[in-house]
């Protein structure tokens, strides 16, 4: 992110993982009154009177915890590595020379063990059970890197580091309370398995120390340290940092007030987890956000270029050829059969948006995949989105090239994009050619592999023994359900042309608990089951078709039968950033809905809502149960 230049000093806080809510990298900017999904962290930082923006971290969290004598040493070292990485990278990659870089890392410990985010509900249960009735510690390691320019243009880095410990005592937790909290979904995105500022507060008996440290950042300690930096002797290198001092105050700066607009007012960029930058949201338009440059608007303006860079690199197989080792420019160009000039521009663009690394190795420059790219963009990775990216490039991108016409006419643009008008895109566009069927199935398979586990573990489904995945395509979602629920068998029900190709995707070791039945869910009888799964189905169809399908399900289901719906759930006001709202611009005959709309829709067909789970993945989930019939 660009740094504002209207102030004399620049501070870049790095990796404020904010109260153990990893993966919630946001933008916060006091002057722009930015909204974000973590208002607790926004409040903590803005209370310091600082102005800041977000920059993504490239540091890999691979430190071996067993090498550190104490948990806080691990937290401090993690913060230091992230801060130094940014301090060294910014002048080279972004042509910006920060004055101060701030890094922070928060960990939860009990009995000498560092608790990470739980991987599933059982893991969350183990963590919270370990904390029950005990006192544990929350440590935040904070590092402030002072960047001083030396003669010759080189930069010297001076490191100031500290940590804060807060003691937290949990009450004795009953099994009922534990599972009530776990089923709320809150523990799943937080190290230690709880958030003290939310529902997790009901588990806490007392707190000794800085409460904000538990939320995620020790504001008081931080301000004292920053105050020392801004008021130290001229002999210290830190004194070289330019600052504006208020004529109204000559006293020492030891609190947040020292950073008010009357005194030093540095600009700040916060470096967050590189896998969370997509969570950043657009600044709220207010009368006070006229200062500075509209970076968020420019990011939107250039967003299509970044998308097309991802699409093209995937289509040409760039990430696949780099899957094993780093390659030089010429080596990549030869392997993807492209010009050296074009390849260089594509690779450097991919580096700039965080998809690749460009490193010097044995006196030559090589390109390598990032960890995130290895996991999600290499085509043979278990969680690869490669096929879905190709689907977006080949099928979705052409539709959005005609967005203006779609908005004016209020209709989909399949005729302009693909040369014909289609009432059933899958039947008329995909099923005409076998290779198109495989492309579509590969795309749906990749989405199901990435989302399936979170959907399958969203609820306790132990009372259901058989399930039917309606429109289950390759069976990827069904397999995730059988992994999560050992006593569950799943029938995948889909069109004959899809079922015929199941052998290309079916894991042999689980074939016994997943079966396939061919049929059209609008025309044919549905297989009998205790639970029906509708994943990415309803949003595609008109209201008439949706009611037709739900009516058939209602007649098929007996009282107590479950219906698990998985879609992108809109917020009630339709104001928050949402993939569903952008997806709706394709003007398909279906529509996106919020939880209230889905609940009302289901009630009309005799299904009562039981639970809702926002997964923070590509799909959310709602569980319904068929009402008793009179």
Residue 532 has pLDDT above 90, yes or no: yes
Provide the pLDDT confidence category of residue 316 given band limits of 50, 70 and 90. Answer: very high
Say whether both 438 and 376 belong to one domain: no
DSSP string, 318-355: HHHHTSSS-B-HHHHHHHHT--HHHHHHHHHHHHHTTS
Q: Region 320-329: what's the mean pLDDT?
A: 91
Question: 585 with 438, same domain?
Answer: yes
Planar angle of CA 516, 518, 521, nearest 5 degrees? 110
Q: Is 210 tagged catalytic? A: no
Least confident of 177-186, 248-257, 377-386, 560-569: 248-257
* Together in a domain, 527 and 448: yes
More confident residue, 517 or 295: 517
Residue 267 domain flag: no
- Is 485 inside a domain boundary? yes
Residues 184, 309: one domain? no
Q: Which residues pair with 518 in a beta bridge?
A: 494
Give the predicted TM-score (pTM) of the model.
0.56
User: 268 by DSSP, 3-state: which?
Assistant: strand
Residue range 234-290, pLDDT digits in tens: 444 444 444 433 333 334 333 333 333 333 334 444 443 332 222 223 334 334 444
Q: What is the mean pLDDT of the chain?
A: 78
Strand, coil or helix: 87? helix
Last residue of some domain: 199, 228, 244?
244
Identify the CATH number of the domain in which residue 458 sits.
Answer: 3.40.50.150
| Chosen domain end from 217, 244, 271 | 244
The number of distinct structural domains making up the chain is 3
Both tokens of 175, joined, read 């099994």
pLDDT of residue 229: 77
Given 64, 99, 105, 469, the catalytic residue: 105
Say if 573 falls within a structural domain: yes
- pLDDT surpassing 80 at residue 105: yes
Q: What is the CA radius of gyration of the chain?
A: 27
Q: Which of 218, 244, 270 is the last residue of a domain?
A: 244
The mean per-residue pLDDT over the stretch 205-213 comes to 91
Q: Which domain does 371 fall in, by range?
A: 303-384
Residue 95 within any structural domain of the chain: yes
* CATH number of the domain bearing residue 25: 3.90.950.10
Q: Which residue has the higher pLDDT, 147 or 244?
A: 147
Question: What distance in Å separates the CA atoms of residue 57 and residue 93, rounded to the nearest whole number?
Answer: 13
Q: In this predicted structure, what is the pLDDT of residue 456? A: 95
State the SS3 of 539-563. HHCCHHHHHHHHHHHHHHCCCCCEE
Do 74 and 208 share a domain, yes or no? Answer: yes
Same domain, 374 and 445: no
Give the model's pLDDT for residue 311.
96
Per-residue model confidence as pLDDT tens digits over 483-508: 999 999 999 999 998 898 888 886 55
Beta strands in 125-259 (DSSP E): 135-149, 155-170, 204-208
Residue-level pLDDT at 254: 33
Whether 229 and 375 map to the same domain: the answer is no
Mean pLDDT calculated for residue range 180-200: 86
Judge whether 406 lies within some domain. Answer: no
Is residue 5 assigned to a domain?
no
Q: Is the domain of 473 the same as that of 573?
A: yes
pLDDT digits (tens, 9 = 90+) for 585-601: 887 888 889 999 999 99
- Of 227-231, 370-374, 416-420, the range with the highest mean pLDDT is 370-374
Pairing of strands 204-208, 155-170: antiparallel
Q: What is the DSSP string of 463-479?
A: T--EEEEET-TTSHHHH
User: How many CA atoms does the CB half-sphere of 360 hold within 13 Å?
Assistant: 1
User: Is residue 502 in a domain?
Assistant: yes
- What SS3 string covers 374-412? HHHCCCCCCCCCHHHHHHHHHHHHHHHCCHHHHHHHCCC
Same domain, 186 and 65: yes
Q: Which of 263, 303, 296, 268 lies closest to 282 in space, CA to CA?
A: 296
Same domain, residue pair 345 and 440: no
Q: What is the pLDDT of residue 471?
A: 95
How does strand 100-110 pair with strand 113-115?
Answer: antiparallel
Residue 275 lies in a domain: no
pLDDT, position 437? 77
Residue 142 or 468, more confident: 468
């Amino acid at each position: 992110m660009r740094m504002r230049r209207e102030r004399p000093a620049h501070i870049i806080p790095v990796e404020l993982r904010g109260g153990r809510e990893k993966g919630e990298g946001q933008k916060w900017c006091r002057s722009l009154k930015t909204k974000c999904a973590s208002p607790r962290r926004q409040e903590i930082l803005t209370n310091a009177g600082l102005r800041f923006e977000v920059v993504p971290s490239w540091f890999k969290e691979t430190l071996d915890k067993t090498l550190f004598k104490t948990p806080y040493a691990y937290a401090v070292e993690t913060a230091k590595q992230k801060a130094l990485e940014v301090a060294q990278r910014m002048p080279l990659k972004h042509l910006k020379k920060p004055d101060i870089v701030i890094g922070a890392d928060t960990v939860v410990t009990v009995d000498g063990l560092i608790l990470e985010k739980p991987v599933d509900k059982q893991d969350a249960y183990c963590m919270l059970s370990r904390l029950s009735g005990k006192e544990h510690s929350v440590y935040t390691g904070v590092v402030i890197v002072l960047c001083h320019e030396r003669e010759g243009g080189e930069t010297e880095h001076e490191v100031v580091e500290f940590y804060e410990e807060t003691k937290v005592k949990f009450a004795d937790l009953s099994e009922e309370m534990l599972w009530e909290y776990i089923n709320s979904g809150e523990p799943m995105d937080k190290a230690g398995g709880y958030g003290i500022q939310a529902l997790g507060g009901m588990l806490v008996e007392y707190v000794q120390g800085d409460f904000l440290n538990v939320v995620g950042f020790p504001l008081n300690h931080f301000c004292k340290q920053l105050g020392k930096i801004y008021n130290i002797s001229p002999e210290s290198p830190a004194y070289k940092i330019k600052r504006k001092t208020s004529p109204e105050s000559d006293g020492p700066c030891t609190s947040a007030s020292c950073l008010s607009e009357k005194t030093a007012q540095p600009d700040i960029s916060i470096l967050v987890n590189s896998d969370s930058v997509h969570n950043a949201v657009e600044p709220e338009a207010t009368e006070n956000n006229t200062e500075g440059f509209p970076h968020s608007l420019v990011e939107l303006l250039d967003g299509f270029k970044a998308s097309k860079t991802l699409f093209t690199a995937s289509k040409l197989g760039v990430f696949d050829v780099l899957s094993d080792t780093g390659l030089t420019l010429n080596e990549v160009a030869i392997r993807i059969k492209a010009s050296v000039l074009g390849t260089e521009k594509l690779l450097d663009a991919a580096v700039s948006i965080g998809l690749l690394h460009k490193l010097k190795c044995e006196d030559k420059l090589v390109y390598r995949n990032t960890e995130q790219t290895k996991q999600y963009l290499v085509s043979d990775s278990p969680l690869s989105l490669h096929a879905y990216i190709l689907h977006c490039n080949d099928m979705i991108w052409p539709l959005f090239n005609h967005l203006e016409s779609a908005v004016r006419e209020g209709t989909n643009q399949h005729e302009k994009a693909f040369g014909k008008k289609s009432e059933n895109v899958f039947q008329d566009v995909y099923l005409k050619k076998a290779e198109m069927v495989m492309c579509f199935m590969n795309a749906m398979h990749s989405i199901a592999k990435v989302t399936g586990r979170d959907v399958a573990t969203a609820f306790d489904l132990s009372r259901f023994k058989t399930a039917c995945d309606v429109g289950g395509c390759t069976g990827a979602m069904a397999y995730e359900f059988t992994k999560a629920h050992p006593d569950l068998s799943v029938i995948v029900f889909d069109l004959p042309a899809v079922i015929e190709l199941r052998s290309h995707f079916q894991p042999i070791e689980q074939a016994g608990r997943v079966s396939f039945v061919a049929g059209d869910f609008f025309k044919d009888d549905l297989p009998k089951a205790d639970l029906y799964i509708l994943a990415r189905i309803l949003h595609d169809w008109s209201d008439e078709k949706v009611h037709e399908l739900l009516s058939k399900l209602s007649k098929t289901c007996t009282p107590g039968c479950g219906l698990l719906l998985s879609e992108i759930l809109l917020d009630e006001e339709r104001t928050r950033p949402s993939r569903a709202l952008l997806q709706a611009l394709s003007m398909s005959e279906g529509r996106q809905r919020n939880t209230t709309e889905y609940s009302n829709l289901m009630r009309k067909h005799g299904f009562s809502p039981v639970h809702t789970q926002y997964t923070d993945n590509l799909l959310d989930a709602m569980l319904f149960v068929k009402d008793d019939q009179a």
